[in-house]
Amino acid sequence: METSDARFSFAKFAAHPFFREVNAWLVARAGIRPGADVVDLGCGPGAITELILQRMGVPPLGRVFAIDPSSSALMLAAQRIQSAIVRFVQGTAERLSSLVPQVDTVVFCNAIHLVPDKAQVIAAISNVLRPGGVLAFNTTFFEGAYAGDSLRFYKHWGLRAMRCLRERGHAVVRDAKTTAMQWLTPEEYRRLLADSGFAETEVEFQEKQLPCQAWEDISEFSMFIEGALPGIPLEIGMEALKVGARQTFEDLRLQAVPRIWMQVVARRG
C-alpha cells in the first residue's frame, strides 16, 4: 500500500509550533508519572512519543508502547527516538489488547477519526486500561472543527484542487467516502466513552491559527490526501492540494486559517 511510503509522512505538519502546543497541553493532562506504563496509540512519526517521554523522568522510568499500523511511520519514529523504555509495535487500535499488557495511560492523538468503528476501538482501549487509568485523545476531524467562517476556505481550496487535477487530466470519484470523512459530534464521543466504562470525561476545545505552510504540509500526508481526494494517486493529489492551498490563501488574502482541536481526557471507572 502506498501509505507505507515515508515521502507521504505526517512529520512536517507535526513539526509546527501550534501542533506541539496543542498536543503538549493534552499530554500534560494525561497524568503521566515516571514509572508508568503508557501507550502512544497511532504514534505516527513520533512527535507525541517524544512529549510522553519528557514526562517519564530523568533518567526515564516505566514503559512506552508506541503503536502504529504504518511501517514507514514506525521507522521514522524509531530513527527519531532512541530510548530503552520505548518499544515500537506495528499494529492497530482495534487489536490493542493483543499488543500490550494492562497499562496506566493511553494517548491517542490526531488519529481516532481514522478508525471506522470508534465504539470498538474505545472498548478495546478501555480493556487494556487499569481501573482509574486515563485515555487522552484529540482530533480536528469532528463536528464543530471548522472555526468561524473557515468553511469558505475549505470550499475554495476544494475547487482550486479540483481545477488543478482537471488540468492534469484526473477526476475525483465523488461518492468514494473514506473513514476520515466520518466525523462524530463531541456528544457522540462522550456517549461512546460512557458505554465503555469511562466514568469521568473532560472535553475542551482549542483553536489554533494555521498558516499556509501548515496546509501545504498536511497535503503531504497520505491519509489526508486519500480522505480529501479519494482514488487519486498520492503524488498527484499532494500537488493538487498544495497548489490549491497556495491559490486559496492568495485569492482570499488570508494570513492563517483557524482550526479547532477537541481535547478529551477520560478516566476509566
- Chain residues that interact with ligand SAM, rule: CB under 6 A: 10, 14, 41-44, 47-48, 68-70, 73, 92-94, 109-111, 114-115
**Grid coordinates in use for 214?**
501548515
What is the length of the chain? 269
| Nearer Cβ to ligand SAM (75/212) | 75
Minimal distance, residue 27 CB to ligand SAM, in Å = 10
Segments of the chain assigned E as strands = 37-41, 63-68, 86-90, 103-109, 129-139, 198-211, 256-268
| Nearer Cβ to ligand SAM (120/201) | 120
Cα–Cα nearest to 165, from 67, 251, 234: 234
Minimal distance, residue 251 CB to ligand SAM, in Å = 27
Is the torsion defined by CA of 139, 140, 141, 143 positive or negative?
positive
| Nearer Cβ to ligand SAM (55/156) | 55
Minimal distance, residue 253 CB to ligand SAM, in Å = 29
Minimal distance, residue 171 CB to ligand SAM, in Å = 27
| Nearer Cβ to ligand SAM (14/257) | 14
Cα separation, 264 vs 41, in Å, equals 15
In the 3-class helix/strand/coil scheme, how is 201-257 assigned residue by residue? EEEEEEEEEEEHHHHHHHCCCHHHHHHHCCCCCHHHHHHHHHHHHHHHHHHCCCCEE
Minimal distance, residue 123 CB to ligand SAM, in Å = 14
**Grid coordinates in use for 15?**
513539526
| Nearer Cβ to ligand SAM (44/133) | 44
